[in-house]
């Protein structure tokens, strides 16, 4: 919205809400004017984050859960194994909340052209009625939509008509061709699953590597923007995608544009880019490794199911879910995690031109906001997709006003592709709310995670 305002065209927000709050008002504050419907129920009350811990569940259902992580801030393991928040997690999440809340207040203050302390007063007042917002100057009027249209003048264009006009445009842009590759969802090794009930919104290593290789081989493509929105996943897949990115970067500029989340494996695949652009509120970092091993032997016995395993070799049934891992197996698992963590550290150091010691200092599984990440060198600059385009122009030695042609690799979505699960970029998922999206991602993770598999994954951190 702020980018649009730079064109000189006024932007108006009309809020017609029943139970809306922080996000809706935050978005509206970027507009020139904010109007609220008379009966709207809106609550501007600050930011909160709630963490859930499953450690007390497993004994009650006769499951033995073994978790190992590298290192103390890798809180995905805490969620599974602990009964309460650790001091390391509390420190990290308080720092994130402080950063996000400061951005929240500052951006609203900038949009409304008031002091930040005044916005803090609005938040602490926690009004629920339209009139209080108007009296405080938080909105510009209490009106109905028709009244807003009359104030603006001209005809109202519906969302459906606007979208149809955009879809109908067939404009061949001049200038250098820049490929845009989307990397959204949990990261898995191999191919994306298929079928009507499969998880299509994943970053599967095989097709992602092929996309990067295609961009490398296409002589008409001058640079690549990778739009990352991922909390991580498979450590193996993350490293394979990192390698493909390095081969591409050796020939063409690669700019990563971070969306909501680019953490753990999501940061792994981003760290080797020519340049990284993150939103101020992007959740990133989480440089660490975690694994969880549930064993259900006691549960099966409790319900009358017995098992017998025969094997050859000292570790023949290593990783079985029928029993907890023994000391030797736990040691092997831990050594594997340490090795992967050291590799992660090395990759970040190579990409960000930092020593391994420095990466370990800012790593250790710790999560950062985009603002914090820039301060410690994990990203190059703050901004959205437009700033990523500007960075591409800089790397191509083009002027700021130079035109480029963005090439999207999206295939045409048909009913058959939806039914057979052959859509790599989920269109349906874009209609979900953030809360629904996080739930879907957590549930989908269960279908692609093997017990004991090393994961470069962060826990869901949601601020409301």
135 and 219 part of one domain: no
Tell me what pLDDT residue 168 has.
47
Mean pLDDT for 154-163 is 72
Tell me what pLDDT residue 154 has.
75
Mean pLDDT for 288-292 is 94
What is the residue-averaged pLDDT of the chain?
A: 87
Tell me what pLDDT residue 408 has.
86
Write the pLDDT tens digit of every residue in 208-237: 999 999 999 999 999 999 999 999 999 999
359 and 240 part of one domain: yes
CA distances to 22, 261, 284, 368 from 461, in Å: 17, 10, 11, 11
CA distances to 63, 163, 172, 423 from 166, in Å: 53, 5, 14, 22
Q: Is the pLDDT of residue 10 over 90?
A: no
137 and 181 part of one domain: no
Q: How many CB atoms lie within 10 A of CB 77?
A: 22
Residue 460 in any domain: the answer is no
Q: Is the pLDDT of residue 440 over 60?
A: no
Stretch (H or E) spanning 351: helix 327-352
For residue 256, the enclosing domain spans 174-290+326-441
Tell me what pLDDT residue 463 has.
62
Q: Is the pLDDT of residue 417 over 50?
A: no
Sign of CA pseudo-dihedral 372, 374, 376, 378:
positive
198 and 121 part of one domain: no
Tell me what pLDDT residue 231 has.
95
138 and 211 part of one domain: no
Query: Of the residues 112, 134, 165, which one is the last residue of a structural domain?
Result: 165
161 and 178 part of one domain: no
Write the pLDDT tens digit of every residue in 60-75: 999 999 999 999 999 9
* Residue 382 β-bridge partners: 278
Residue 102 in any domain: the answer is yes
Residue 421, domain CATH = 3.90.226.10
224 and 181 part of one domain: yes
Our count of domains for the chain comes to 2
Residue 201 in any domain: the answer is yes
100 and 143 part of one domain: yes
Mean pLDDT lowest among 262-276, 369-383, 441-455: 441-455
pTM of the model: 0.85
Tell me what pLDDT residue 158 has.
74
Tell me what pLDDT residue 207 has.
96
192 and 246 part of one domain: yes
Residue 295 in any domain: the answer is no
Write the pLDDT tens digit of every residue in 319-354: 999 999 999 999 999 999 999 999 999 999 999 999
- Of residues 133 and 454, more confidence is placed in 133
Instruction: Name the E strands within 108-264.
Output: 141-142, 176-184, 186-188, 202-204, 221-230, 232-234, 254-263
Residue 458 in any domain: the answer is no
143 and 268 part of one domain: no
Query: Of the residues 115, 139, 165, which one is the last residue of a structural domain?
Result: 165
Mean pLDDT for 150-169 is 69
| Contact present, 265 and 290 (Cβ < 8 Å) | no
Tell me what pLDDT residue 420 has.
41
Mean pLDDT for 97-121 is 97
Q: What angle do CA 118, 464, 443 make, to 5 degrees?
A: 165
Tell me what pLDDT residue 169 has.
45
160 and 213 part of one domain: no
Q: How confident is the model at residue 20 (pLDDT cuts 50, 70, 90)?
A: confident
139 and 267 part of one domain: no
């Amino acid at each position: 919205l702020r980018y649009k305002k730079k064109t000189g065209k006024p932007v108006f927000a009309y809020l017609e809400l029943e139970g809306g709050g922080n996000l809706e008002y935050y978005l509206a504050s970027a507009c020139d004017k904010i109007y609220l419907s008379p009966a709207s129920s809106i609550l501007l009350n600050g930011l909160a984050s709630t963490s859930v811990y499953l450690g007390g569940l497993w004994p009650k259902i006769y499951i033995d859960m073994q978790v190992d992580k590298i290192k103390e801030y890798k809180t995905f393991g805490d969620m599974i194994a602990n009964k309460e928040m650790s001091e390391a997690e509390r420190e990290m999440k308080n720092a994130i909340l402080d950063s996000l809340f400061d951005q929240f207040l500052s951006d609203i203050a900038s949009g409304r052209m008031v002091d930040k302390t005044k916005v803090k007063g609005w938040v602490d007042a926690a009004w629920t009625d339209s009139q209080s917002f108007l009296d405080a100057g938080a909105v510009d009027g209490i009106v109905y939509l028709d009244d807003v249209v009359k104030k603006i003048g001209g005809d109202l264009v519906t969302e459906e008509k606007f979208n149809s006009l955009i879809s109908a445009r067939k404009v061949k842009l001049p200038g250098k061709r820049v490929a845009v590759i989307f990397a959204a969802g949990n990261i898995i090794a191999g191919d994306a699953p298929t079928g009507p009930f499969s998880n299509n919104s994943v970053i599967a290593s095989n097709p992602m590597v092929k996309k990067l290789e295609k961009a490398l081989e296409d002589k008409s493509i001058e640079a690549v923007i990778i739009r990352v929105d991922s909390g991580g996943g498979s450590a193996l897949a993350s490293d394979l995608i990192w390698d493909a990115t390095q081969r591409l970067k050796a020939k063409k500029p690669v700019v990563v544009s971070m969306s909501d989340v680019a953490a753990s494996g999501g940061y792994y695949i981003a760290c080797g880019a020519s340049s990284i652009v993150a939103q101020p509120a992007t959740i990133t970092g989480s440089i660490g490794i975690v694994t969880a091993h549930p064993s259900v032997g006691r549960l099966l016995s409790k319900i009358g199911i017995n098992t017998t395993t025969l094997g050859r070799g000292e570790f023949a049934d290593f990783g079985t879910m029928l029993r907890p891992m023994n000391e030797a197996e736990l040691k092997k698992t831990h050594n594997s995690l340490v090795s992967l963590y050291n590799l992660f550290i090395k990759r970040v150091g190579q990409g960000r031109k930092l020593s391994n010691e420095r990466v370990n200092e800012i790593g250790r599984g710790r999560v950062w906001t985009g603002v914090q990440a820039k301060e410690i060198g994990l990203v190059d600059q703050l901004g959205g997709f437009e700033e990523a385009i500007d960075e591409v122009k800089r790397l191509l030695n083009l002027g700021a006003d130079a035109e480029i042609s963005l090439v999207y690799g999206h295939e045409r979505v048909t009913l058959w592709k939806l039914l057979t699960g052959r859509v790599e970029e989920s269109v349906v998922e874009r209609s979900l709310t953030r809360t629904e999206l996080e739930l879907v991602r957590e549930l989908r993770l269960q279908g692609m995670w093997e017990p004991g598999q090393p994961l470069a994954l962060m826990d869901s951190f949601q601020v409301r």
